[in-house]
Amino acid sequence: RYVAKRPDGLRVDRDGCMRLDDIMHFWGDRAGLRETDILHAVRRHMFREHEHGGSLRFAIDGDRDGGIVIR
């Protein structure tokens, strides 16, 4: 979302998606994280709570190459 806060090299595509492989390569591995750590964090913060319910902040999906994508 915030380009200035992204790790160098991490790209977001035109649909707002990042590949989990890229997140690990450009940030997760150096931070000592596993893919499951990233996925648990995404799930934990997936919804934004509102007074009248919530809204989706993140989604976990697959791409046509079989990779995991976070949108």
pTM for this one? 0.84
From the number of C-beta atoms within 10 Å of its C-beta (0-12, 13-18, 19+), residue 23 rates as buried
Whole-number pLDDT of residue 32: 98
CA atoms within 13 A on the CB side of 49: 2
- How far, in whole angstroms, is CA 19 from its chain's centroid? 7
Whole-number pLDDT of residue 66: 93
Q: Distance (Å, rounded) from C-alpha 39 to C-alpha 41?
A: 5
Q: What residue segments make up the domains of the chain, in order of their start?
A: 11-70
Residue in this structure with the two tokens 């000592």, named with its chain if needed:
32
Whole-number pLDDT of residue 12: 92
Q: Distance (Å, rounded) from C-alpha 4 to C-alpha 64?
A: 29
Going residue by residue through the chain, which has 71 residues, state the pLDDT in tens, using 9 for 90 and above.
Answer: 678 889 999 999 998 899 999 999 999 999 999 999 999 999 999 998 878 778 889 999 999 999 999 99
Beta bridge partners of 50: 53
